[in-house]
Structure 1
Amino acid sequence: MDIIESVKMAGTTLLANKMRSTLTMLGIIIGNASVIAMIGIGEGAQKFVGDQVNSLGTNVLFIVPGSPEAQSRPVYPPQTLVLEDAEAIAEQVPTVQAVAPMLNASELMTFRSRNVSASIVGTNPDILTVRNLDVARGRFISELDLRRNEQVVALGSELAEQLFGNQNPVGQSVRMKNVSLQVIGVMQPKGSTFGDNMDMNAYVPLTTMANRITGRTSPYGMQVTFISVSVRDEQSMGAAQFQIENLLRLRHKITDEDDFTVRNQKDLMNILGSITGALTLMLAAVAGISLFVGGIGIMNIMLVSVTERTKEIGLRKAIGASEQDILIQFVIEAIILSAVGGAIGTGLGIGGVLLVGAFSPLNAGVSAGAIAVAVGVSGGIGLFFGVFPARQAAKLDPIVALRSA
């Protein structure tokens, strides 16, 4: 039998039973849409996490106080990092480009009658390089500001807007813990990183922060919350981490457990990427169950169709149709159901991914690989689950089929 003729006959048969054909395709439609949407959302989550990590800076190492074991305990971390540690890293580690010690606190900032809760960051000028920050107006804190303990502050864009509205903040004064600070600059918008809105930060000289706002609380020197280090290039990350760890062990006279932890930006990216990748795989597997269920639905309906069309099958075999002709006929019908269902499901899945990308921070995109896999799997399911009913139809004895019809 001609394949084109078989396709025409299959289409005519399916169109004659529109409701049954539609309900049969429903499982494939839902399965395809789910697989494509889940993979697209998962890939969007991976891109989002990658962007969040990259927004922390390029080729960055983070040095935090306490060993990994100490950080896992629900207590305040030990105050083991000081400004002198950061200065030693900048001077003695050749692979380092910039070092930004940070002393963080959350305080109420006041301008006239406006009070805004802000994240205060005591740091040095190198934070511009380490965290990829830019100044929109005015200037940033300088080394001279650090040496003189100047009472100056550079505001994040959103913080400046909440405090000053449409006024120019540069040159104005704000108060914090009874300390008056002159606004010297406003930063370019940076956005949020892992829930931390950097546009609500206020940057002050580290010395001013330690001496006038938080006070000195470490017996070893001027305490810092953590140290961010920008390495010259990606190839030097491992060497820089090794050199920093050895330098801090010497400075802290460590013979047993480290009282600090160096975190690699690339390691953080790999950990978060593996987590989001596993979640994407799990979501796709759950969605794939819908495709399997849809395939079973196709098999059930095709078996019902064989029973209903026993007379037709017997008549066609009686006038010369071979078992192969009958087999091809029913397989084509199953493939058409799965292919059409797959196409509709693909369209719905793409639409869902685009909606998620439009109304959420996830940079969800449609993966060509996901579409190819979903459509290929749905077509394969149609073929796989359509073969058994087709073989049942092909093996019918024409005499028995005509007698039982």
Structure 2
Amino acid sequence: MPADTTSLDLDALEAAHADLRARGLALDLTRGKPSPDQLALSDRLDGILSGTYRHDGTDLRNYGGIDGLPTAKRLGAMLMDVPADAVLVGGNASLEMMFHAMLVGTHFGWDGPGSAWTTRPSVKVLCPVPGYDRHFTVSERLGHEMIPVPMGDDGPDMDVVESIVADDPDVAAMWLVPKHSNPTGAICSDEVVARVAELGNRARRGFRVIWDNAYAVHDLTPEPILMASLWAACEAAGTTESVIHVASTSKITFAGAGLSFLAAGPETLATLRQHLSAVTIGPDKVNQQRHVMLLPDIDALRAHMVRHAELIAPKVDATVAALERGLTGLARWTTPTGGYFVSLWTPPGLATEVVGLAADAGVRLTPAGAAFPLGHDPEDSHIRLAPSFPTLDEVRLAMEVVVTCVRLAIARQRASRDGTGEAVQPGPT
């Protein structure tokens, strides 16, 4: 039943919160970690090589091969919808690949030291919000000025993006999770893909989009959701060098022992190879071959991801169902078709209080504002919910706490308004 938006009994909600605190819960909805059952889907990786450590004349155990095995490059190409010869294969963390790319652009330059972004008056990076907090941490660490851009259901507001790029030559890059985005679940439309491809023709030379396709195959729908190819759009626009594509198997196989992939135009790849040659003598080819044997083709990959969806979808459904039962008319949220997150918007000014109330009741949430640069949500309204890791029963219990905390925060806010009874509206998209 929809929540009663006119009757929020403050005393009853305070008592309900006290009861929840008394249970001594210890639940965690902070990060999009695969559950143990999801990780177990890839247990066959252990021993899959059967003691064979040679492939196409290469000793997998030895140094070398900074690009990665050709077969592993094809796996990355399959994930990112790019040519295999444009792919570099790394370790388990695509975040590390992104950090290296941003480091090169910032301090070394894509066309030699004189092109480093730090030679500009300032280094500005566009950040669609709500967005991925670890992207913002990279930019914060590298000293970038982060410019928030609204993120809609079909991707970033490209009118805003194009206007900023046209007006400010110091804009050096843009972060973007294009499919099942972290944390709203947005999927870039064909129009947005085409307009992103054109940014390389609008921006100053050296501009790069970090196209973090972390959830490329993480659909919760019966059939895969297909996106337009950014690589093809960039080829048509003549802007292949303006985009750095990344992906990984971190939420496909073993989160701590997967593969990461980066794809880019030939000039960008040459610069990155030069940088990486000072960082590593070669990637883990043994692990690359394990993954190629587990996921040899698109059919095997899709079948594997269907099993993931069977584990994640009930938890996402339970999260959304709890919000519908308890917060309809009081707050707003997403109903994602893939990925790992549900975004919740409280009325303005309440997200921090809700996160604190939930912590008091034994449920850890991502800090309010985490999906914004420097952790600052100007509306104090957005909360990211990550239901993948707990069990289904734990998700249901955690959401009972979350819903109670939102209702309590709203009731307290209304009670503080001098008895006006003025309705509180949900926060903006």
Note whether the superposition's TM-score is higher than 0.5: no
The structure whose residues are more often helix, as a share, is 1
TM-score (ref. length: structure 2):
0.23
Larger RCO (CA within 8 A; separation ≥ 6): 1
TM-score (ref. length: structure 1):
0.24
Larger Rg: 1
